[in-house]
Every structure is written in structure tokens, then in C-alpha cells.
Structure 1
Amino acid sequence: MSTNNQAGLVIVPEAVCQQVIDRPSAFTAVESVFAAMARGDAYNFPVIREAIGYADALYGFKSGFDRAGMALGVKSGGYWPGNADQGLTNHQSTIFLFDPDTGKLTALVGGNYLTAVRTAASSAVSIAHLARQDAKVLGIIGAGHQASFQLRAAVEQRQFEKIVAWNKSPERLASLAAVAADLGLPFESLEREEVAAQSDVIITITSAKEALLLNDWIRPGTHIACMGTDTRGKQEVDSALFSTATVYTDEVAQSVSIGEAQHAVVEGLVAHKDITPLGDVINGDHGGRNFAEEITLFDGTGVGLQDLAVASTAVELAVEQGLATSIAL
């Protein structure tokens, strides 16, 4: 989004982002940018993500340019695992938008809520385009801050009748159970193998560094959205799944380097050519699910263009509604 017609620097804080961006607007923004990426109209720059050697934190930058949406910018932030003990979100970030015509900084946008809602939108887009139409049971692996966002976004894509979930600390599932109750859906806490045995769609949203779901557990016809692996060394599912499932991703380069596919690539179980950008399905260049018993896997690595898309939408809506703050530079 070019903002050169706006005076000064636009600031959209976290509270305003929550007012102006809802799940449908996030879904549309993410689906559109995936389509633009597949067409070659948008591209991500290389990700920088490093352990800073303090507070067990990971910090980095995701950036890119969407020529279709005229969004140029960078998200700066990372993961501080001790934040929850201080009543803070573990993921902390800010999005910077620049005018693609001049390079001028045009907007600062709070990135915490937008990261959660765009990550949930990403898995929701994968469910919309890849899950079986008759999917009835939704499984969730993980119960951190983003899990409730994932649950609310996912149930809008299929007529789910039950939610099953697992978390390393079972007591933390209470938050997901409350969301399910709010949605009017029965909820059950299960072991990982039983989650896999019952689910038609599974979302993994953890910071695990070992496989939490094994290949032999996944039943035919399941769609799996792996949403937690975005750094070298992370892993949520058995790498053997990449030999069993048809694999899709937000961006192939990230999938094979820092995404869930990184381990399968090293083991020779999957190659770049075997992974399809989800944007190809959105654009109609790939048929998506081929048959009911097919296992599909979406490797959601989290690309910078997702952040820029939802941030640009947040700026537009905040300005339209008189909720943005503008300062002179």
C-alpha cells in the first residue's frame, strides 16, 4: 500500500489493530498475498532470525515487497519465552511500512495481535482450500497464546462438530476448552495419538524441537496445518509424513530451510519440486486435494508478506475510521 498521500507518520497501536482487523479481513489479506506470491507479484526477502544470547530470546526480521498490493516493509521482533510469567505475550513485534515510490517510512503498526491473527488466517486458508468438505473433528496440538486464534479461525472453514486437543502441560488446555464452549462445540483433552486417530483436520502450533505427531498415527484423508516451525531446529511432525502426504506451503524457500520440511529435506524424503505453494491452489493453477483419502500437509512457515498485508489493511481501516495517530517526521 502506497501511503504517500498521507501526512507524516501513521501510528496504529495494538489496541487499534484489534479494533479494525477481524478474522475475515485477515483471511482475505493472507489469501490475496499468497495468490500474489504464486503469480510472482510479491516476494519475501531472506529471513534473519537469531538467538540473542539473553533471556532465551529469538529475534529477527521478516520483510518483502508486494507489487500487487504496493506493500513494502519489515516486521521486527521475536520470541521471549519468559514473557508469559510477566503477563506479556511471548511473541513481540512491530511492523514498519515504507512508501514503495520514495522509500519514506509511512507507518508503524503493532505486530503482536496481527501476528496471531495472520498466522491463524494462514492455516484457515489452507483448510479452506485443502481439507475435506466433510471434515467433522478438529485437532489442536498446543495451547499457547496463538492456539485460541487458530481454533476460532479454523471452525469458520468447515462444519466441525468436535474439538480435541493435546498440550504438554494439560492444565493449559482450559483456555481452549473455554473457546470451544463459547463456540458451542464439545471439547476433549486427549493424548497425541488419540488426537490423530480422531481428527479430520489437525493444527500444530507449538515451539517443539521434536516430532509430536508420528506418521503412522495420521489417518487417511487428514489435513495437517503445521504452524509452529519457523526456525532451524524446530520440528512438530514426523519427517516421514513428507513421504506420505501431499505437501503445500506459503513459500517453498522458507519451507525447506526453516520450516517443517527442513528435516525431511535433509533426510532426502522430499525435494523442492515436491512442495506446492498454496497460492497455486488459490489461483487455480493446481487442483489441490485429489481424492478423499489423500493426506495433505500445509507447512506454514510465516512469511513477512503476511504481516505487511494485514498491517497495510490495518493502516487503511484505522485512517478511514479516524483511529490512527499521525505525527510529522
Structure 2
Amino acid sequence: MTDNQVVVVPEDLCQELVSRTDAFAAVEQVFAAMGRGDARNFPVVREAIGHAEALFGFKSGFDKAGMALGLKAGGFWPGNADRGLTNHQSTVFLFDPDTGRLKALVAGNYLTAVRTAAASSVSIRHLARDDAKVLGMVGAGHQAQFQLRAAVEQRSFEKVVAWNPHPDMLPKLEAVATELGLPFEAVSQQELGAQADVIITITSAFEPLLMLDWIKPGTHIACMGTDTKGKQEVDPELVAGARVFTDEVAQSVQLGETQHAVAQGLLDEGAISPIGKVINGDHPGRQGDDEITLFDGTGVGLQDLAVAATAAALAAKQGRAQTVSL
């Protein structure tokens, strides 16, 4: 029996190798594969561990089109910020679909951030109005900066408006907007809804932060923070009043933003469309300039596998891959 050579891609190398363009392409392709039925996610395991207020779990799946099989293990440690660490911690394990042998260990912190931003960016490309000019940001944490950078590459935005439950965090987001050459304004939630053509919500909220009456016709909303039962960022009436798309319908209904509208009988599960169908041309997507569209980005394991496979492939191609024998 020969040794199994496993590629190891550490955090700093992932940041050097995987660009926003790479992440966008990987996520768009895997959403398309899901839409064709060529890729599927396996059931999510996510549990409170009873220590450090942490959540830990696994997201896994198989992309037959991209031949990516594996899982992401990790979770959320709320006290990490006080230690100078990222609250989200994760590692991706990739396996050979032909043999089941471990192929790669890929650090997942940066990749989780960049793939989440890529997902909302994909939704903006395929669902937002072409003439969108004002980007609204609800949330100003670490992930919001990735979201902002990715979003501005999809439309010719002229301004960023933002709200955060902790206003003292907004200057960091403003610095990114300034770097990108965009005027930035801190506003109320109602004013954000009145101005924004595209809104990204990226918080850890457990209550609605945006109401239907605050949103103007034609807005596209990417809800990116709700990934656990009980979490919530927008009013269920807003979800029900929009044309709704998601990464995966089953996960959206279980733990995504649509969980509340579906549970309350305001939205039928059959009315939720996979964004992969839009990418593949099997669904028209937005069907009017005045229509509110909403993307429920729950974060599926296949996204993680796609960007991790990209990192491993780039590391090998550039001769920068570290290997260990198992």
C-alpha cells in the first residue's frame, strides 16, 4: 500500500491564491450544478457544544460536475474577537470521489468569508436591476467588508448607505467604501430602505431589522446572515412580498431566512426558486422593474468545497502546495 499524499493549504496561502473572481466563478458554477441536479448537499449538523457559547457542525456534499467530495468542519466562537481571532473557525476536508481517500486539508476561515460574499454577488449579478445605483449594507462586521467589495463589482453603484446595531463599527465599513471611491452615509433602517436599490443583510440577528413598508419597489435584497434555526434579519411579510430565490430550498426552509415566512403560512415552499435555475436559464429571475427580489443565502457545503477545491488546485498548479503522507 502506497502512502496517501494529502495537500495542505494554510490560511495565508488561501488568501494569496483565491481572488474574489475565483470565488465568484466557483460559487456560480456550483449553484449551476445544483440547479441541474449534478450536485447535492448532505444534511447539516450544527450543535451548541455547551462550552464557550460555541456552535460547531459539519456541512458536506458531492459535486459530480466538479468532482468535489468533502465536508467543512467548524463553527462560531463568540469570544474569539477578544482573543484577536475570527469568530468563525473552519477547515475543509476534500476526498477523492473514486477512492474515498483524503486529498486535501484546506483552511476555511478566509474561504468562508469570500464564498459568502461571492454568493450574494452572484445573486446581484442575476437578480438586481441593471440600473441599481445605491447599495445598502445592514451589518458592519468582519464579513460585511467582504460583502461590500464583492457587491460593487456587479453594478455601477454610486453610493453606499449603511446601518448597524452597533454604530461604532460603521467607520471600518466606511473606510472600505472610501477605498473603493464611493460616498458613504450612515442612516436609519427606514432611510436605508428608502434609498437602496440593492440591500445586503449580514448580521447575527434574531429579530427583523427591515420591514416591507420600508423597501422601495425594484429592490434586490440578499439576506446572508440567517443560517440557524431562530435567526432572522427581515420581516416575514417582506419575504412573502418578494420573489424569493435561494442556494438550496430545503436548507432555506429549515434554517434560512424563509423559515419564518414558511412556518407562518405566508410563503409556500414551492414559491422558492434555486438561483441555479436562473443561472442555467431555466427560470427568468426578476420579472419586472418594480418587483422586489430576495436571495436567501443560507451557506451550503458545496460552496465551501468549490472554493477549497479551487485553492488546492491553484496551490498545486503554482507549485506552492504543501503535502503530507498519511
TM-score for the superposition, normalised by structure 2 = 0.98
Q: How does 1:194-205 map to 2 (within 5 A)?
A: 194-205=191-202
**Aligned to 2:162, what secondary structure does the other structure show?**
strand
1:228 Cα offset (Å)? 0.3
Q: Which of 48, 52, 56 is the equivalent residue of 1:55?
A: 52
- Counterpart of 1:317 in structure 2 is 314
Does 2:82 align with 1:85?
Answer: yes
Asked if the contact 1:139–1:163 (Cα under 8 Å) also holds between the matched residues in 2, the reply is yes
- Counterpart of 1:275 in structure 2 is 272
Q: How does 1:281-292 map to 2 (within 5 A)?
A: 281-292=278-289
**Per-residue CA shift, 1:91-120, capped at 9, x if unaligned?**
000000000000001100000000000000
Asked if the contact 2:233–2:257 (Cα under 8 Å) also holds between the matched residues in 1, the reply is yes
What amino acid is aligned across from residue 100 of structure 1 in structure 2? P
Q: Which of 26, 29, 35 is the equivalent residue of 2:26?
A: 29
Distance across 2 between alignment mates of 1:58 and 1:127: 30
Provide the identity percentage. Answer: 70
**Aligned to 2:16, what secondary structure does the other structure show?**
helix
Asked if the contact 2:62–2:68 (Cα under 8 Å) also holds between the matched residues in 1, the reply is yes
Distance across 1 between alignment mates of 2:34 and 2:54: 30
Does 2:145 align with 1:145?
Answer: no
**Aligned to 2:116, what secondary structure does the other structure show?**
helix
- Counterpart of 2:247 in structure 1 is 250
Distance across 2 between alignment mates of 1:99 and 1:328: 15
1:52 Cα offset (Å)? 1.1
Distance across 2 between alignment mates of 1:24 and 1:143: 23
Distance across 1 between alignment mates of 2:63 and 2:51: 34
- Counterpart of 1:237 in structure 2 is 234
1:38 Cα offset (Å)? 0.7
Does 2:159 align with 1:158?
Answer: no
**Per-residue CA shift, 1:151-192, capped at 9, x if unaligned?**
000000000000010111111011110000100000011111
Asked if the contact 2:71–2:92 (Cα under 8 Å) also holds between the matched residues in 1, the reply is yes
- Counterpart of 2:103 in structure 1 is 106
Q: CA RMSD in A?
A: 1.1
**Aligned to 1:146, what secondary structure does the other structure show?**
helix
- Counterpart of 1:73 in structure 2 is 70
**Aligned to 1:240, what secondary structure does the other structure show?**
helix
- Counterpart of 1:9 in structure 2 is 6
Equivalent residue pairs, number = 325
1:242 Cα offset (Å)? 2.2
**Per-residue CA shift, 1:34-75, capped at 9, x if unaligned?**
000010000000001111111111110000000000000000
Moved over 6 A (4+): none
**Aligned to 2:142, what secondary structure does the other structure show?**
coil
**Which segment is superposed worse, 52-61 or 25-34?**
52-61
1:7 Cα offset (Å)? 5.9
Asked if the contact 2:4–2:101 (Cα under 8 Å) also holds between the matched residues in 1, the reply is no
Asked if the contact 1:16–1:324 (Cα under 8 Å) also holds between the matched residues in 2, the reply is no
Q: How does 1:38-53 map to 2 (within 5 A)?
A: 38-53=35-50
Asked if the contact 1:7–1:326 (Cα under 8 Å) also holds between the matched residues in 2, the reply is no
Q: Which of 207, 216, 220 is the equivalent residue of 1:219?
A: 216
TM-score for the superposition, normalised by structure 1 = 0.98
Distance across 1 between alignment mates of 2:157 and 2:311: 30
Q: Which runs of 5+ in 1 are unaligned?
A: 1-5
What amino acid is aligned across from residue 249 of structure 2 in structure 1? V
- Counterpart of 1:3 in structure 2 is none
